[in-house]
């Protein structure tokens, strides 16, 4: 046998990571007192515990205290008590604490890595080289944000007590993503880890003790569903941050509706991994290994859908199979292991069931010829070919080492297939043509896009999804906003609309009857139901009648808004010019609109003219900001730049209040349009003639058909239709409290972004209601990672 033969015959020997320190830590700790509340270790008030086991063997690791609602009450009370002093501390004081946490974690990072692998089952290389260093990076990075808070976020302060619920796939990293920005913002925390993986959170609580975190600032409560429900529903919590499944995310969205709690959701995904024919196939295969078999595929942004161009499909699939056959499945504490066990038997059974169903639906499921360990929850890496777009493996999040493959012919088909999912968390684009990659990336409905790479993360770069992958961002500047609040000046309480049975008096004089229709797709149209709504003047006389919009009219308006491609695709400069022109044309009819305000609202001539002038000024403001509220370029500690692009939310439903009926309506429509959204607006129910008077101004101001659609009618009814409509991407609603709460609850169908006044209007004339505060709500931030160098 020559040297080359010996080289090819070589086999990896075992390379186990020592676990003696982790076992000693486990043996020394009393896990029946594992609740960290107010700086003290406590047993669950009811004495309950739950078991956590080692996925690689099924052996019991510990019996951990199981928090009840009473324990959550105690944790929230501790966080509330600690909040005033912590939020009043200087940024430098908070920064020192965050820095101390990061440094203490560094001193114990090997213990963290081994515990994470023992408890979760992920290979030690991943825990040691990715999870723990990145968790440390988050605390040190956010120490800087704590000290820069007043400079970079003027007028903002921490939201208050935060309830955080994290999953089992990245126990320590998700903890860092949640706690670091919250502490930097001056919030206090009640965090619940997943039942499957409580150990590193307990070790982290010990680190908090050593790092000098004030008592009550960080509270960590182990527990099951009862504890999670208690956190979500607790009236003493001002924000909920959740990472987990889309199904649970929807339950939380519904449970918090009307509560006024701030909410961020980082949910599931079905990410596309797109390989074009000019890609470096060997690099793409290695990226694919990282994209779908990292952490056994138990990753919300896993590249679980391989979309490959037809001309290279056979060659790429052959390379993928060869690489799969060389993946090492085994003990997660072996440094040579590529794929460890799934987290639990229930997860293993679920993955097996989905693979079987995918095969029943026509997929061909291939696995390498490899033996699985005798014990533990292992599943072989699986490649599914012949997958139709409707196959369960192409649509459902498997959360296991299963890759579904489809082919495409051209760029347009690749984008269409990639977006053919209810999720929108991440995507990867592989091409040696950077022009092609950067042409595709903005068209993908995903919050993160990696070019010629995958699973790149950093504390300086935001992460989060579109669609049913949730809303809000974690990391970076946008992640800090999730834990901050800037109180907008409030207007009056909004009362439910009442229908007057008394007919309005006929107006004096001899005038020609004028019919105010709806405005849909650039045309004035009659309402589908052919009903009308009588509008009275301030003196009780008949001012006119408007169309009584219905569900069908909202559907037509949403269809028109969705079909309007020219507005979101227009340059920001072009949108700016149109908004300037709209302001110019409204200015030419300022006297007419002031007279209408006087007639309908009874405002004084001076007040009416001021509202019209402020409306024109507001249009001018957003016209000027249309090409100035831009994204950023981040430079993470890697050979890559991250482009944080501002993209329109999509179709935005807007329900305007009665207060300042012209200024309020335009203050909501203008920022949405400036950022490239299309709008379906429901104007003031009491004063809709101000909106119908705008039709002609819109028609001769070069606004594309469908960019602005206006449906008059009953606020509560039309708001409900917008909330339930799955083609509406965002909803801004200023109505009575019950209508706002119901709309938030009804929005769970597609988890649209909802902003309500919680039963209050705003002071629309104030400067705080203009500018960035509304523009941030009008955009999604997409982070596109672009590597460079050889």
Q: Which residues are catalytic?
A: 266, 300
Helix (H) or strand (E) holding 284: helix 281-293
C-alpha to C-alpha distance for 201 and 164, rounded to whole angstroms: 12
C-alpha to C-alpha distance for 746 and 575, rounded to whole angstroms: 32
C-alpha to C-alpha distance for 692 and 188, rounded to whole angstroms: 48
Torsion on CA atoms 20, 21, 24, 29, rounded to nearest 10: -150
C-alpha to C-alpha distance for 422 and 441, rounded to whole angstroms: 18
What own/partner pairs with CB < 8 Å and gap ≥ 24 does 28-32 have?
29/62, 29/202, 31/62, 31/63, 31/64, 31/65, 31/202, 32/63, 32/64, 32/65
Number of Cβ within a 10 Å radius of residue 539: 11
Tokens 């672009």, located at residue? 786
Pairing of the two strands 640-648 and 632-634: antiparallel
Torsion on CA atoms 269, 142, 173, 266, rounded to nearest 10: -20
Among the listed residues 737, 725, 561, 762, the one whose alpha carbon sits nearest the alpha carbon of residue 651: 561
Q: Where are the alpha helices (DSSP H) in 519-550?
A: none
C-alpha to C-alpha distance for 184 and 95, rounded to whole angstroms: 7
- Give the start-end residues of each E strand in 409-509: 426-430, 448-451, 470-471, 484-485, 490-493
Helix (H) or strand (E) holding 286: helix 281-293
Number of Cβ within a 10 Å radius of residue 49: 17
Residue 767: partners with Cβ closer than 8 Å, 6 or more residues away: none
- Asked if residues 11 and 156 have their Cβ atoms less than 8 Å apart, the reply is no
- Asked if residues 570 and 675 have their Cβ atoms less than 8 Å apart, the reply is no
Pairing of the two strands 779-787 and 640-648: antiparallel
Among the listed residues 433, 430, 426, the one whose alpha carbon sits nearest the alpha carbon of residue 452: 430
Residue 53: strand pairing partners: 60
Compute CA distances 165 → 116, 190, 201, whole Å. 18, 9, 12
- How many angstroms separate the first and last alpha carbons of the chain? 37
Tokens 């009811």, located at residue? 46
Say if residue 750 is exposed, middle or buried (CB neighbours under 10 Å; 0-12, 13-18, 19+). Answer: middle
C-alpha to C-alpha distance for 521 and 558, rounded to whole angstroms: 9
Residue 429: strand pairing partners: 274, 451
């Amino acid at each position: 046998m020559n040297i080359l033969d010996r080289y090819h015959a070589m086999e990896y020997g075992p390379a186990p990571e020592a676990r003696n320190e982790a076992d000693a830590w486990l043996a020394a700790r009393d896990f029946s007192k594992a609740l960290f509340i107010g700086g003290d270790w406590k047993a669950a008030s009811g004495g309950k515990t739950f078991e956590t086991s080692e996925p690689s063997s099924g052996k019991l690791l510990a019996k951990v205290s199981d928090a009840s609602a009473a324990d959550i009450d105690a944790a929230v009370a501790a966080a509330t008590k600690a909040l005033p002093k912590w939020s009043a501390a200087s940024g430098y004081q908070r920064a020192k604490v965050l820095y101390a946490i990061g440094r203490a974690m560094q001193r114990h990072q090997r213990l963290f890595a081994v515990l994470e692998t023992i408890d979760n089952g992920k290979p030690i290389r991943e825990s040691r080289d990715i999870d723990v260093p990145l968790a440390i990076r988050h605390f040190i990075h956010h120490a800087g944000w704590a000290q820069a808070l007043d400079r970079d976020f003027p007028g903002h302060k921490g939201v208050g007590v935060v309830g955080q619920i994290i999953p089992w796939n990245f126990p320590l990293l998700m903890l860092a993503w949640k706690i670091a920005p919250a502490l930097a913002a001056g919030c206090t925390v009640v965090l619940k880890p997943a039942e499957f993986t409580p150990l590193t959170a307990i070790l982290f609580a010990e680190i908090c003790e050593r790092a000098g975190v004030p008592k009550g600032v960080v509270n960590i409560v182990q527990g099951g569903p009862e504890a999670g429900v208690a956190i979500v529903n607790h009236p003493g919590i001002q924000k909920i941050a959740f990472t987990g499944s889309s199904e649970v995310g929807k339950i939380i969205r519904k449970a918090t509706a009307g509560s006024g709690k701030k909410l961020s959701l980082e949910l599931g995904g079905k990410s596309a991994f797109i390989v074009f024919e000019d890609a470096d196939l060997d690099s793409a295969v290695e990226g694919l290994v990282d994209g779908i078999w990292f952490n056994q595929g138990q990753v919300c942004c896993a590249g679980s859908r391989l979309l490959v161009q037809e001309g290279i499909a056979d060659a790429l699939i052959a390379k993928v199979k060869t690489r799969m056959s060389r993946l090492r499945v085994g003990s997660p504490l072996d440094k040579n292991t590529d794929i460890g066990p799934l987290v639990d038997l229930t997860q293993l059974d679920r993955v097996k069931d989905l693979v079987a169903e995918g095969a029943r639906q026509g997929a061909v499921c291939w696995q390498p010829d490899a033996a699985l360990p005798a014990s533990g929850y292992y599943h072989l890496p699986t490649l599914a070919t012949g997958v139709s777009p409707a196959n369960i493996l192409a649509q459902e999040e498997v959360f296991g080492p299963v890759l579904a493959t489809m082919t495409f012919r051209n760029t347009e088909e690749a984008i269409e297939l990639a977006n053919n999912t209810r999720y929108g968390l991440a995507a990867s684009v592989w091409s040696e043509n950077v022009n092609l990659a950067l042409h595709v990336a903005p068209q993908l409905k995903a919050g993160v896009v990696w070019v010629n790479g995958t699973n790149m993360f950093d504390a300086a770069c935001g992460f989060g999804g579109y669609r049913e992958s949730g809303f809000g961002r974690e990391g970076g500047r946008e992640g800090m906003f999730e834990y901050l609040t800037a109180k907008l000046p409030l207007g009056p309480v909004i009362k439910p609309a009442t229908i007057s049975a008394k007919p309005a008096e006929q107006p004096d004089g001899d005038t020609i009857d004028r019919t105010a229709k709806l405005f849909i797709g650039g045309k004035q149209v009659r309402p589908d139901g052919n009903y009308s709504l009588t509008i009275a003047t301030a003196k009780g006389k008949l001012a006119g009648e408007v169309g009584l919009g219905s569900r069908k009219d909202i559907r037509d308006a949403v269809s028109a808004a969705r079909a309007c491609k020219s507005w979101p695709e227009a340059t920001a400069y072009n949108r700016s010019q149109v908004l300037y022109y709209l302001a110019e044309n409204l200015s030419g009819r300022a006297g007419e609109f002031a007279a209408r305000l006087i007639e309908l609202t009874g405002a004084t001539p001076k007040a009416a003219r001021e509202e019209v002038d402020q409306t024109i000024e507001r249009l001018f403001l957003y016209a000027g900001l249309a090409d100035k509220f831009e994204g950023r370029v981040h430079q993470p500690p890697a050979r890559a730049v991250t482009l944080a692009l501002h993209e329109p939310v999509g179709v935005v439903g807007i329900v305007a209040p009665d207060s300042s009926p012209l200024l309020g309506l335009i203050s909501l429509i203008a920022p949405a349009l400036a950022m490239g959204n299309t709008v379906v607006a429901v104007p003031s129910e009491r004063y809709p003639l101000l909106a119908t008077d705008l039709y002609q101004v819109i028609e001769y101001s070069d606004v594309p058909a469908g960019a602005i659609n206006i449906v008059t009618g009953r606020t509560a009814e039309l708001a409900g239709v917008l909330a339930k409509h799955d083609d509406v991407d965002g909803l801004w609603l200023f109505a009575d409290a019950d209508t706002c709460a119901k709309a938030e609850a009804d929005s769970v169908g597609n988890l649209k972004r909802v902003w309500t006044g919680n039963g209050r209007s705003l002071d629309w004339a104030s400067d705080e209601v203009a500018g960035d505060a509304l523009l941030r709500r009008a955009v999604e931030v997409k982070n596109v990672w672009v590597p460079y160098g050889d």
